Structure 1
Amino acid sequence: MERKELHRPFEVHVSDMECWKERPLIYHFFEIVQILEGSGVRTTNLNDFPYEKGSIFLFTPLDCRGFNATTPTRFCSIRFSEVFLGQYKNAPDRARIVQWLKQLEHIFSHHNRFQRLLVKDAGDCQMISSLINNVVQEYQQKQAYHEENLQHFVTLLLNILARNASDNTNAGITATGQETEPLINRMLLHIRQHISDAEKLRVDYLAAHFNLSANYVGEYFRKLTGESLQHYITQYKINMVQQRLAFSTLTVSQIAGELGFTDESHLGRQFRKHSGVSPLEYRKNARPVGNQQ
Protein backbone atom coordinates (compact mmCIF):
# COMPACT_ATOMS: atom_id res chain seq x y z
CA MET A 1 0.00 0.00 0.00
CA GLU A 2 1.36 3.42 -0.99
CA ARG A 3 1.90 5.93 1.80
CA LYS A 4 1.70 9.70 2.10
CA GLU A 5 3.63 11.55 4.81
CA LEU A 6 3.01 14.93 6.45
CA HIS A 7 6.22 16.98 6.29
CA ARG A 8 5.08 19.67 8.72
CA PRO A 9 3.24 19.33 12.04
CA PHE A 10 0.28 21.26 10.57
CA GLU A 11 -1.03 21.96 7.04
CA VAL A 12 -4.26 23.36 5.58
CA HIS A 13 -5.33 22.84 1.96
CA VAL A 14 -8.41 24.09 0.10
CA SER A 15 -8.65 22.23 -3.20
CA ASP A 16 -10.92 21.48 -6.15
CA MET A 17 -11.27 17.82 -7.04
CA GLU A 18 -13.07 16.54 -10.12
CA CYS A 19 -12.12 12.97 -9.25
CA TRP A 20 -9.71 11.38 -6.80
CA LYS A 21 -7.14 10.07 -9.29
CA GLU A 22 -4.84 8.28 -6.84
CA ARG A 23 -5.72 4.92 -5.42
CA PRO A 24 -6.48 5.11 -1.69
CA LEU A 25 -3.38 5.82 0.37
CA ILE A 26 -2.37 5.40 4.01
CA TYR A 27 -1.64 8.78 5.61
CA HIS A 28 0.41 8.96 8.82
CA PHE A 29 -1.42 11.92 10.37
CA PHE A 30 -4.80 13.14 11.56
CA GLU A 31 -6.96 14.88 8.97
CA ILE A 32 -10.23 16.81 9.23
CA VAL A 33 -12.00 17.20 5.88
CA GLN A 34 -15.02 19.40 5.17
CA ILE A 35 -16.78 19.19 1.80
CA LEU A 36 -17.36 22.77 0.60
CA GLU A 37 -19.11 21.88 -2.66
CA GLY A 38 -20.02 18.69 -4.52
CA SER A 39 -21.04 15.12 -3.84
CA GLY A 40 -19.70 11.61 -4.24
CA VAL A 41 -18.35 8.71 -2.22
CA ARG A 42 -15.44 8.56 0.20
CA THR A 43 -13.69 5.25 0.83
CA THR A 44 -12.22 4.60 4.27
CA ASN A 45 -10.59 1.27 5.13
CA LEU A 46 -12.49 -0.40 2.27
CA ASN A 47 -15.85 1.01 3.48
CA ASP A 48 -17.81 3.38 1.21
CA PHE A 49 -19.77 6.34 2.61
CA PRO A 50 -21.63 9.03 0.59
CA TYR A 51 -20.66 12.66 0.99
CA GLU A 52 -22.31 15.97 0.09
CA LYS A 53 -21.83 19.67 0.74
CA GLY A 54 -21.20 20.20 4.44
CA SER A 55 -20.04 16.63 5.16
CA ILE A 56 -17.30 16.39 7.81
CA PHE A 57 -14.80 13.56 8.15
CA LEU A 58 -11.97 12.90 10.58
CA PHE A 59 -9.29 10.41 9.58
CA THR A 60 -6.80 8.94 12.02
CA PRO A 61 -3.14 8.01 11.42
CA LEU A 62 -2.90 4.86 9.26
CA ASP A 63 -6.49 5.11 7.99
CA CYS A 64 -6.69 4.31 4.29
CA ARG A 65 -8.85 6.90 2.58
CA GLY A 66 -9.88 8.10 -0.86
CA PHE A 67 -12.61 10.08 -2.64
CA ASN A 68 -14.58 9.50 -5.84
CA ALA A 69 -16.53 12.62 -6.88
CA THR A 70 -19.78 12.34 -8.82
CA THR A 71 -20.18 16.15 -9.06
CA PRO A 72 -17.40 18.78 -9.02
CA THR A 73 -16.04 18.80 -5.47
CA ARG A 74 -14.20 21.41 -3.45
CA PHE A 75 -12.96 20.57 0.03
CA CYS A 76 -10.92 21.89 2.95
CA SER A 77 -8.33 19.56 4.47
CA ILE A 78 -6.76 20.25 7.88
CA ARG A 79 -3.83 17.89 8.52
CA PHE A 80 -1.83 17.62 11.73
CA SER A 81 0.33 15.27 13.76
CA GLU A 82 -0.02 14.77 17.52
CA VAL A 83 3.09 16.92 17.88
CA PHE A 84 1.19 19.98 16.62
CA LEU A 85 -1.11 20.06 19.65
CA GLY A 86 1.70 19.52 22.13
CA GLN A 87 4.74 21.30 20.76
CA TYR A 88 4.11 24.62 22.53
CA LYS A 89 3.06 23.22 25.92
CA ASN A 90 4.92 21.97 28.98
CA ALA A 91 5.65 18.29 29.60
CA PRO A 92 2.53 17.46 31.69
CA ASP A 93 0.27 19.11 29.10
CA ARG A 94 2.00 17.23 26.28
CA ALA A 95 1.46 13.92 28.06
CA ARG A 96 -2.21 14.76 28.61
CA ILE A 97 -2.72 15.73 24.98
CA VAL A 98 -1.01 12.58 23.67
CA GLN A 99 -3.31 10.44 25.82
CA TRP A 100 -6.33 12.44 24.69
CA LEU A 101 -5.41 11.92 21.03
CA LYS A 102 -5.05 8.18 21.60
CA GLN A 103 -8.60 8.10 22.97
CA LEU A 104 -9.86 10.12 20.01
CA GLU A 105 -8.06 7.81 17.60
CA HIS A 106 -9.87 4.83 19.12
CA ILE A 107 -13.27 6.56 18.83
CA PHE A 108 -12.79 7.56 15.22
CA SER A 109 -11.19 4.26 14.23
CA HIS A 110 -14.48 2.63 15.19
CA HIS A 111 -16.49 4.94 12.94
CA ASN A 112 -14.08 4.72 10.03
CA ARG A 113 -14.53 0.95 9.97
CA PHE A 114 -18.12 0.32 10.93
CA GLN A 115 -20.36 3.33 10.33
CA ARG A 116 -20.64 6.85 9.01
CA LEU A 117 -19.98 9.67 11.45
CA LEU A 118 -22.90 12.11 11.40
CA VAL A 119 -22.96 15.51 13.11
CA LYS A 120 -26.69 15.75 13.73
CA ASP A 121 -26.91 18.83 15.94
CA ALA A 122 -27.44 21.99 13.86
CA GLY A 123 -25.54 24.09 16.40
CA ASP A 124 -22.53 21.75 16.22
CA CYS A 125 -22.58 21.90 12.41
CA GLN A 126 -22.56 25.69 12.54
CA MET A 127 -19.71 25.78 15.07
CA ILE A 128 -17.64 23.34 12.99
CA SER A 129 -18.05 25.42 9.83
CA SER A 130 -17.16 28.61 11.70
CA LEU A 131 -14.08 27.03 13.31
CA ILE A 132 -12.83 25.65 9.98
CA ASN A 133 -13.21 29.11 8.42
CA ASN A 134 -11.20 30.54 11.32
CA VAL A 135 -8.50 27.89 10.86
CA VAL A 136 -8.13 28.70 7.15
CA GLN A 137 -7.96 32.44 7.86
CA GLU A 138 -5.37 32.10 10.64
CA TYR A 139 -3.26 29.68 8.59
CA GLN A 140 -3.22 31.93 5.52
CA GLN A 141 -2.62 35.24 7.30
CA LYS A 142 -0.09 33.95 9.86
CA GLN A 143 -0.40 36.91 12.19
CA ALA A 144 0.99 37.08 15.72
CA TYR A 145 0.00 34.12 17.93
CA HIS A 146 -1.49 32.25 14.98
CA GLU A 147 0.10 28.96 16.13
CA GLU A 148 -1.61 29.14 19.52
CA ASN A 149 -4.91 30.13 17.90
CA LEU A 150 -4.69 27.20 15.48
CA GLN A 151 -4.12 24.84 18.40
CA HIS A 152 -7.22 26.13 20.18
CA PHE A 153 -9.38 25.95 17.05
CA VAL A 154 -8.33 22.39 16.24
CA THR A 155 -8.83 21.30 19.86
CA LEU A 156 -12.37 22.71 19.79
CA LEU A 157 -13.06 20.96 16.48
CA LEU A 158 -11.92 17.63 17.87
CA ASN A 159 -14.00 18.05 21.02
CA ILE A 160 -17.15 18.68 18.98
CA LEU A 161 -16.47 15.79 16.62
CA ALA A 162 -15.60 13.47 19.50
CA ARG A 163 -18.88 14.07 21.34
CA ASN A 164 -20.81 13.33 18.15
CA ALA A 165 -18.81 10.15 17.63
CA SER A 166 -19.01 8.98 21.23
CA ASP A 167 -22.81 9.21 21.15
CA ASN A 168 -22.80 6.30 18.72
CA THR A 169 -19.76 4.23 19.66
CA ASN A 170 -22.04 1.50 21.01
CA ALA A 171 -24.24 1.44 17.91
CA GLY A 172 -22.58 -1.79 16.82
CA ILE A 173 -23.63 -3.65 19.97
CA THR A 174 -26.96 -5.49 20.20
CA ALA A 175 -29.45 -5.20 23.06
CA THR A 176 -27.96 -8.34 24.60
CA GLY A 177 -24.49 -6.76 24.60
CA GLN A 178 -23.16 -8.90 21.72
CA GLU A 179 -20.76 -7.38 19.19
CA THR A 180 -22.09 -7.07 15.64
CA GLU A 181 -18.85 -6.05 13.91
CA PRO A 182 -16.76 -8.75 12.24
CA LEU A 183 -14.27 -10.44 14.55
CA ILE A 184 -11.26 -9.37 12.48
CA ASN A 185 -12.28 -5.70 12.79
CA ARG A 186 -12.55 -5.99 16.57
CA MET A 187 -9.18 -7.71 16.66
CA LEU A 188 -7.52 -4.95 14.61
CA LEU A 189 -9.01 -2.28 16.86
CA HIS A 190 -7.73 -4.15 19.91
CA ILE A 191 -4.21 -4.25 18.46
CA ARG A 192 -4.24 -0.52 17.69
CA GLN A 193 -5.57 0.35 21.12
CA HIS A 194 -3.03 -1.82 22.98
CA ILE A 195 -0.05 -1.54 20.63
CA SER A 196 2.29 -0.61 23.51
CA ASP A 197 1.10 -3.44 25.80
CA ALA A 198 2.97 -6.58 24.74
CA GLU A 199 0.99 -8.77 27.14
CA LYS A 200 -2.31 -7.91 25.46
CA LEU A 201 -0.85 -8.67 22.03
CA ARG A 202 0.24 -12.21 22.92
CA VAL A 203 -1.45 -15.03 21.03
CA ASP A 204 -2.75 -16.66 24.19
CA TYR A 205 -4.28 -13.37 25.38
CA LEU A 206 -5.92 -12.75 21.99
CA ALA A 207 -7.23 -16.29 21.91
CA ALA A 208 -8.88 -15.92 25.33
CA HIS A 209 -10.14 -12.40 24.63
CA PHE A 210 -11.74 -13.29 21.29
CA ASN A 211 -12.78 -16.86 22.12
CA LEU A 212 -10.47 -18.50 19.59
CA SER A 213 -8.14 -21.45 19.81
CA ALA A 214 -4.55 -20.32 20.41
CA ASN A 215 -3.51 -22.54 17.50
CA TYR A 216 -6.03 -20.81 15.22
CA VAL A 217 -5.38 -17.12 16.00
CA GLY A 218 -2.45 -16.75 13.58
CA GLU A 219 -4.14 -18.71 10.82
CA TYR A 220 -7.36 -16.69 11.19
CA PHE A 221 -5.50 -13.37 11.13
CA ARG A 222 -3.50 -14.27 8.03
CA LYS A 223 -6.57 -15.58 6.23
CA LEU A 224 -8.51 -12.34 6.79
CA THR A 225 -5.68 -9.80 6.34
CA GLY A 226 -3.17 -11.51 4.06
CA GLU A 227 -0.27 -11.08 6.49
CA SER A 228 0.94 -12.62 9.70
CA LEU A 229 -0.16 -11.29 13.07
CA GLN A 230 3.41 -10.54 14.16
CA HIS A 231 4.24 -8.73 10.91
CA TYR A 232 1.16 -6.53 11.27
CA ILE A 233 2.01 -5.62 14.88
CA THR A 234 5.65 -4.92 14.07
CA GLN A 235 4.88 -2.83 10.98
CA TYR A 236 2.26 -0.81 12.87
CA LYS A 237 4.83 -0.08 15.59
CA ILE A 238 7.49 0.89 13.04
CA ASN A 239 5.07 3.32 11.37
CA MET A 240 4.39 4.92 14.77
CA VAL A 241 8.13 5.14 15.46
CA GLN A 242 8.64 6.90 12.11
CA GLN A 243 5.96 9.45 12.97
CA ARG A 244 7.51 10.22 16.35
CA LEU A 245 11.03 10.46 14.93
CA ALA A 246 9.86 12.90 12.26
CA PHE A 247 7.65 15.15 14.37
CA SER A 248 8.52 14.82 18.07
CA THR A 249 11.49 15.61 20.29
CA LEU A 250 11.24 12.28 22.14
CA THR A 251 14.52 10.37 22.41
CA VAL A 252 14.80 6.93 20.84
CA SER A 253 14.82 5.45 24.33
CA GLN A 254 11.59 7.28 25.22
CA ILE A 255 9.93 6.10 22.01
CA ALA A 256 11.02 2.53 22.75
CA GLY A 257 9.45 2.70 26.19
CA GLU A 258 6.23 4.26 24.93
CA LEU A 259 5.67 1.66 22.21
CA GLY A 260 6.58 -1.44 24.18
CA PHE A 261 10.02 -2.29 22.78
CA THR A 262 12.35 -4.07 25.21
CA ASP A 263 14.88 -1.24 25.03
CA GLU A 264 16.51 1.22 22.62
CA SER A 265 18.67 -1.51 21.10
CA HIS A 266 15.64 -3.71 20.37
CA LEU A 267 13.87 -0.79 18.68
CA GLY A 268 17.01 0.01 16.65
CA ARG A 269 17.35 -3.55 15.34
CA GLN A 270 13.68 -3.77 14.38
CA PHE A 271 13.68 -0.30 12.84
CA ARG A 272 16.77 -0.91 10.69
CA LYS A 273 15.37 -4.26 9.55
CA HIS A 274 12.14 -2.68 8.30
CA SER A 275 13.31 0.81 7.31
CA GLY A 276 16.86 0.17 6.10
CA VAL A 277 18.37 2.93 8.29
CA SER A 278 18.86 3.54 12.00
CA PRO A 279 16.32 5.64 13.94
CA LEU A 280 18.79 8.53 14.20
CA GLU A 281 19.51 8.44 10.47
CA TYR A 282 15.77 8.44 9.76
CA ARG A 283 15.24 11.45 12.05
CA LYS A 284 18.13 13.33 10.45
CA ASN A 285 16.67 12.85 6.97
CA ALA A 286 13.02 13.54 7.93
CA ARG A 287 13.10 17.22 7.12
CA PRO A 288 10.35 19.43 5.68
CA VAL A 289 10.48 19.57 1.89
CA GLY A 290 7.74 22.13 1.32
CA ASN A 291 4.01 21.66 0.99
CA GLN A 292 2.95 18.18 -0.07
CA GLN A 293 -0.56 17.85 -1.51
Structure 2
Amino acid sequence: MLEFDIQDKLILVSCESHEMGYLSRYSNRFRLVFIVEGTGTAFLEEESYRYEKDSFFLIAPRQDLECISPQRTRVLVIIFGLFRSINHKAEEPVTSFLNLYQHVQQIFLAKNISQGMRISDQTDRESVARLVPLLRNELLHPQGYSKEIAINVVFILVNILTRNIDNASGGPVSEYDSETNRVLNYIKDQVQQNNRLTIRDIAKGLNMSEYNLNKIVIKGTGTTLKSIIARYQVELFAEP
Protein backbone atom coordinates (compact mmCIF):
# COMPACT_ATOMS: atom_id res chain seq x y z
CA MET A 1 0.00 0.00 0.00
CA LEU A 2 1.27 3.45 -0.98
CA GLU A 3 -0.16 6.63 0.54
CA PHE A 4 0.48 10.19 -0.58
CA ASP A 5 -0.87 12.94 1.71
CA ILE A 6 -1.13 16.43 0.23
CA GLN A 7 -1.58 18.68 3.28
CA ASP A 8 -4.63 16.64 4.32
CA LYS A 9 -6.54 18.26 1.43
CA LEU A 10 -6.06 15.21 -0.77
CA ILE A 11 -4.87 11.75 0.18
CA LEU A 12 -3.99 9.37 -2.64
CA VAL A 13 -3.70 5.65 -1.99
CA SER A 14 -2.60 2.86 -4.33
CA CYS A 15 -3.37 -0.58 -2.94
CA GLU A 16 -5.07 -3.92 -3.47
CA SER A 17 -8.78 -4.04 -2.73
CA HIS A 18 -8.39 -6.17 0.39
CA GLU A 19 -6.18 -3.44 1.89
CA MET A 20 -8.92 -0.81 1.79
CA GLY A 21 -9.96 -1.87 5.27
CA TYR A 22 -6.84 -0.13 6.55
CA LEU A 23 -8.33 3.15 5.34
CA SER A 24 -11.16 3.06 7.89
CA ARG A 25 -9.72 6.15 9.59
CA TYR A 26 -10.91 8.08 6.54
CA SER A 27 -14.46 6.70 6.64
CA ASN A 28 -15.84 10.15 7.49
CA ARG A 29 -14.66 11.55 4.15
CA PHE A 30 -15.73 11.41 0.54
CA ARG A 31 -13.70 8.90 -1.47
CA LEU A 32 -13.36 8.12 -5.16
CA VAL A 33 -12.19 4.60 -6.02
CA PHE A 34 -10.87 3.68 -9.47
CA ILE A 35 -10.39 0.04 -10.44
CA VAL A 36 -6.88 -0.21 -11.89
CA GLU A 37 -6.86 -3.97 -12.43
CA GLY A 38 -9.29 -6.84 -11.93
CA THR A 39 -12.93 -7.83 -12.31
CA GLY A 40 -15.42 -8.98 -9.73
CA THR A 41 -18.34 -7.95 -7.54
CA ALA A 42 -18.33 -5.00 -5.17
CA PHE A 43 -20.64 -4.53 -2.20
CA LEU A 44 -21.73 -1.08 -1.05
CA GLU A 45 -24.65 -0.22 1.23
CA GLU A 46 -26.03 -3.77 0.99
CA GLU A 47 -26.09 -3.53 -2.82
CA SER A 48 -23.86 -5.47 -5.21
CA TYR A 49 -22.22 -4.13 -8.38
CA ARG A 50 -20.11 -5.69 -11.11
CA TYR A 51 -16.81 -3.97 -11.74
CA GLU A 52 -13.96 -4.15 -14.24
CA LYS A 53 -10.84 -2.20 -15.12
CA ASP A 54 -11.61 1.56 -15.34
CA SER A 55 -14.78 1.26 -13.25
CA PHE A 56 -15.20 3.80 -10.49
CA PHE A 57 -17.11 4.04 -7.22
CA LEU A 58 -18.22 7.07 -5.21
CA ILE A 59 -17.96 6.34 -1.50
CA ALA A 60 -19.86 8.69 0.81
CA PRO A 61 -18.99 9.23 4.48
CA ARG A 62 -19.80 6.23 6.72
CA GLN A 63 -19.87 3.91 3.69
CA ASP A 64 -17.42 1.10 2.99
CA LEU A 65 -16.67 -0.68 -0.27
CA GLU A 66 -15.82 -4.39 -0.38
CA CYS A 67 -14.53 -6.04 -3.57
CA ILE A 68 -14.86 -9.80 -4.02
CA SER A 69 -12.89 -11.48 -6.80
CA PRO A 70 -10.95 -14.73 -7.33
CA GLN A 71 -8.15 -12.66 -8.82
CA ARG A 72 -6.20 -9.64 -7.64
CA THR A 73 -7.96 -6.30 -7.75
CA ARG A 74 -5.82 -3.17 -7.61
CA VAL A 75 -7.40 0.19 -6.85
CA LEU A 76 -6.50 3.86 -6.72
CA VAL A 77 -8.32 5.71 -3.95
CA ILE A 78 -8.69 9.49 -3.88
CA ILE A 79 -9.66 10.68 -0.40
CA PHE A 80 -10.91 14.25 -0.19
CA GLY A 81 -10.22 16.53 2.76
CA LEU A 82 -12.93 17.56 5.19
CA PHE A 83 -14.88 20.62 4.11
CA ARG A 84 -18.03 22.43 5.11
CA SER A 85 -21.19 22.41 3.06
CA ILE A 86 -21.06 24.70 0.04
CA ASN A 87 -24.41 26.25 -0.78
CA HIS A 88 -23.87 27.31 -4.39
CA LYS A 89 -23.39 25.26 -7.52
CA ALA A 90 -20.00 24.42 -8.94
CA GLU A 91 -20.34 26.09 -12.32
CA GLU A 92 -16.68 26.71 -13.12
CA PRO A 93 -14.01 24.11 -13.97
CA VAL A 94 -11.90 22.84 -11.09
CA THR A 95 -8.90 25.13 -10.59
CA SER A 96 -8.56 25.27 -6.79
CA PHE A 97 -9.25 23.10 -3.74
CA LEU A 98 -12.40 25.10 -2.93
CA ASN A 99 -13.55 24.58 -6.50
CA LEU A 100 -12.66 20.90 -6.22
CA TYR A 101 -14.80 20.47 -3.10
CA GLN A 102 -17.73 22.17 -4.83
CA HIS A 103 -17.54 19.70 -7.70
CA VAL A 104 -17.11 16.72 -5.38
CA GLN A 105 -20.26 17.75 -3.53
CA GLN A 106 -22.17 18.01 -6.81
CA ILE A 107 -20.90 14.62 -8.03
CA PHE A 108 -22.07 12.93 -4.85
CA LEU A 109 -25.49 14.56 -5.23
CA ALA A 110 -25.93 13.12 -8.72
CA LYS A 111 -29.03 10.96 -8.95
CA ASN A 112 -28.05 9.16 -12.16
CA ILE A 113 -24.80 7.65 -10.88
CA SER A 114 -24.50 3.91 -11.29
CA GLN A 115 -21.78 2.56 -9.03
CA GLY A 116 -19.15 0.55 -10.86
CA MET A 117 -19.82 2.40 -14.11
CA ARG A 118 -17.16 3.52 -16.57
CA ILE A 119 -16.96 6.96 -18.16
CA SER A 120 -19.56 6.99 -20.94
CA ASP A 121 -17.73 9.22 -23.45
CA GLN A 122 -15.08 7.19 -25.26
CA THR A 123 -12.52 10.01 -25.52
CA ASP A 124 -12.93 10.88 -21.85
CA ARG A 125 -12.72 7.20 -20.93
CA GLU A 126 -9.42 6.90 -22.79
CA SER A 127 -8.16 10.04 -21.02
CA VAL A 128 -9.06 8.61 -17.61
CA ALA A 129 -7.36 5.34 -18.56
CA ARG A 130 -4.14 7.34 -19.03
CA LEU A 131 -4.54 9.73 -16.10
CA VAL A 132 -5.09 7.09 -13.42
CA PRO A 133 -1.79 5.28 -14.19
CA LEU A 134 -0.04 8.67 -14.26
CA LEU A 135 -1.40 9.44 -10.81
CA ARG A 136 -0.36 6.02 -9.55
CA ASN A 137 3.13 6.49 -11.00
CA GLU A 138 3.57 9.72 -9.01
CA LEU A 139 2.80 7.70 -5.87
CA LEU A 140 5.22 4.93 -6.81
CA HIS A 141 8.05 7.21 -7.89
CA PRO A 142 7.69 10.63 -6.23
CA GLN A 143 10.10 13.23 -7.53
CA GLY A 144 10.17 16.92 -8.33
CA TYR A 145 6.69 18.39 -8.87
CA SER A 146 4.94 15.10 -8.03
CA LYS A 147 2.58 16.91 -5.67
CA GLU A 148 1.69 19.54 -8.26
CA ILE A 149 1.18 16.92 -10.98
CA ALA A 150 -0.99 14.79 -8.68
CA ILE A 151 -3.17 17.76 -7.75
CA ASN A 152 -3.68 18.74 -11.39
CA VAL A 153 -4.51 15.17 -12.41
CA VAL A 154 -7.16 14.95 -9.68
CA PHE A 155 -8.61 18.28 -10.84
CA ILE A 156 -8.84 16.94 -14.41
CA LEU A 157 -10.41 13.64 -13.30
CA VAL A 158 -13.09 15.43 -11.28
CA ASN A 159 -13.82 17.78 -14.20
CA ILE A 160 -14.21 14.78 -16.54
CA LEU A 161 -16.53 13.00 -14.11
CA THR A 162 -18.62 16.13 -13.64
CA ARG A 163 -18.96 16.66 -17.40
CA ASN A 164 -20.03 13.08 -18.04
CA ILE A 165 -22.55 13.12 -15.22
CA ASP A 166 -23.93 16.46 -16.44
CA ASN A 167 -24.25 15.12 -19.99
CA ALA A 168 -25.97 11.95 -18.82
CA SER A 169 -28.56 13.88 -16.82
CA GLY A 170 -29.07 16.62 -19.41
CA GLY A 171 -28.20 19.35 -16.91
CA PRO A 172 -26.52 20.16 -13.60
CA VAL A 173 -26.19 17.08 -11.44
CA SER A 174 -27.76 18.69 -8.38
CA GLU A 175 -31.24 19.16 -9.90
CA TYR A 176 -34.03 17.23 -8.13
CA ASP A 177 -37.78 17.29 -8.31
CA SER A 178 -39.62 19.58 -5.88
CA GLU A 179 -40.61 16.82 -3.45
CA THR A 180 -37.06 15.47 -3.20
CA ASN A 181 -35.71 19.00 -2.70
CA ARG A 182 -38.26 19.62 0.04
CA VAL A 183 -37.21 16.46 1.88
CA LEU A 184 -33.48 17.12 1.44
CA ASN A 185 -33.78 20.72 2.63
CA TYR A 186 -35.71 19.57 5.69
CA ILE A 187 -33.13 16.88 6.47
CA LYS A 188 -30.25 19.33 6.12
CA ASP A 189 -31.98 21.88 8.34
CA GLN A 190 -32.70 19.27 11.01
CA VAL A 191 -29.18 17.84 10.90
CA GLN A 192 -27.81 21.34 11.43
CA GLN A 193 -29.92 21.63 14.58
CA ASN A 194 -29.31 18.10 15.82
CA ASN A 195 -26.24 16.09 14.79
CA ARG A 196 -27.76 12.92 16.33
CA LEU A 197 -30.87 13.00 14.19
CA THR A 198 -32.51 9.64 13.39
CA ILE A 199 -34.60 8.49 10.44
CA ARG A 200 -37.58 8.19 12.80
CA ASP A 201 -37.19 11.85 13.81
CA ILE A 202 -37.18 12.97 10.18
CA ALA A 203 -40.20 10.86 9.21
CA LYS A 204 -42.14 12.20 12.18
CA GLY A 205 -41.26 15.80 11.32
CA LEU A 206 -42.38 15.33 7.70
CA ASN A 207 -45.52 13.49 8.81
CA MET A 208 -44.81 10.40 6.72
CA SER A 209 -43.79 6.79 7.30
CA GLU A 210 -40.14 5.78 7.35
CA TYR A 211 -40.85 3.55 4.35
CA ASN A 212 -42.24 6.41 2.23
CA LEU A 213 -39.42 8.70 3.33
CA ASN A 214 -36.78 6.18 2.26
CA LYS A 215 -38.63 5.60 -1.00
CA ILE A 216 -38.62 9.32 -1.86
CA VAL A 217 -34.92 9.70 -1.08
CA ILE A 218 -33.80 6.58 -2.96
CA LYS A 219 -35.96 7.33 -6.01
CA GLY A 220 -34.96 11.00 -6.09
CA THR A 221 -31.25 10.78 -5.32
CA GLY A 222 -30.19 7.22 -6.08
CA THR A 223 -28.74 6.79 -2.60
CA THR A 224 -30.05 5.87 0.84
CA LEU A 225 -31.42 8.14 3.53
CA LYS A 226 -28.72 6.89 5.89
CA SER A 227 -26.05 8.06 3.44
CA ILE A 228 -27.73 11.45 2.99
CA ILE A 229 -27.81 12.03 6.76
CA ALA A 230 -24.18 10.94 7.13
CA ARG A 231 -23.08 13.21 4.29
CA TYR A 232 -24.83 16.25 5.76
CA GLN A 233 -23.36 15.49 9.18
CA VAL A 234 -19.86 15.49 7.72
CA GLU A 235 -20.45 18.59 5.57
CA LEU A 236 -21.99 20.65 8.35
CA PHE A 237 -19.74 19.68 11.22
CA ALA A 238 -16.38 19.16 9.55
CA GLU A 239 -13.51 21.43 10.47
CA PRO A 240 -13.20 24.43 8.12
State if a TM-score over 0.5 links the two structures: yes
Cα distance in 2 for partners of 1:195, 1:148 equals: 38
CA apart distance, 1:147:
2.8
Q: Which amino acid aligns with 1:156?
A: I
Is the Cα–Cα contact under 8 Å of residues 31 and 60 in structure 2 kept in the other structure? Answer: yes
1:100 corresponding residue in structure 2:
103
Question: CA separation of 1:25/1:169 partners in 2, compared to 1, >3 Å: closer, same or farther?
Answer: farther
2:149 corresponding residue in structure 1:
149
Within 5 Å, give how 1:17-56 maps onto structure 2: 17=17, 27-56=27-56
Q: How many residues are treated as equivalent by the alignment? A: 199
CA apart distance, 1:17:
4.2
Q: Which amino acid aligns with 1:240?
A: E
Question: Is residue 164 from structure 1 mapped to residue 167 from structure 2 by the alignment?
Answer: no
Larger gyration radius, structure 1 or structure 2: 1
1:87 corresponding residue in structure 2:
none
Within 5 Å, give how 1:158-237 maps onto structure 2: 158-169=158-169, 191=184, 196-197=188-189, 214-217=206-209, 220-221=212-213, 237=232
CA apart distance, 1:160:
1.1
Q: Which has the higher contact order (CA 8 A, sep 6+)?
A: 2
Cα distance in 1 for partners of 2:96, 2:15 equals: 34
Q: Secondary structure, in 3 states, of the residue corresponding to 1:29?
A: coil
CA distances 1:133-189 after superposition (whole Å, capped 9, x unpaired): 22122234443433332221101001112222223337xxxxxxxx8xxx9xx58x9
Q: Secondary structure, in 3 states, of the residue corresponding to 1:71?
A: coil
Unmatched 5+ residue regions in structure 2?
84-94, 171-176, 194-203, 218-225
2:222 corresponding residue in structure 1:
none
CA distances 1:62-87 after superposition (whole Å, capped 9, x unpaired): 4443222243322222222256xxxx
Question: CA separation of 1:238/1:37 partners in 2, compared to 1, >3 Å: closer, same or farther?
Answer: closer
Over the matched positions of the two proteins, sequence identity in percent amounts to 20
Unmatched 5+ residue regions in structure 1?
1-5, 84-91, 171-178, 202-211, 226-230, 251-293
